[in-house]
């Protein structure tokens, strides 16, 4: 994980990557993505047993606390 120093477009969500955002290279494409846009298997915290799992959709919450339920709102 690195901190973005320039504005770019996230390959995962297609929104802007802003200066200061946490970013990482996506393994398959090599493109820059927000840390939260990485597939869970590539996320640096993927093996952290302390990550919270949503009791409704059963997905591991992102660093910001979001889960798949949040996309339905």
3-51 pLDDT, tens per residue?
Answer: 999 999 888 888 899 999 999 888 777 888 898 887 755 666 555 666 7
Q: Going along the chain, which residue ranges are E strands?
A: 2-3, 8-9, 16-17, 22-25, 32-34
CA gap 67, 29 in Å, rounded: 24
> Would you tell me how many other CB atoms lie within 10 Å of the CB of residue 13?
12
CA gap 31, 8 in Å, rounded: 10
Report field, pTM of the whole predicted structure over 0.85: no
């Amino acid at each position: 994980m690195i901190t973005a120093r320039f504005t770019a477009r996230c390959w995962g969500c297609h929104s802007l990557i802003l200066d200061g955002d946490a970013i990482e290279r996506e393994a398959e494409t090599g493109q820059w993505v927000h840390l939260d846009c990485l597939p869970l298997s590539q996320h640096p915290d993927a093996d952290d047993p302390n990550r919270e799992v949503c009791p409704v959709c059963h997905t591991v919450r992102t660093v910001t606390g979001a889960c798949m339920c949040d996309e339905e709102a």
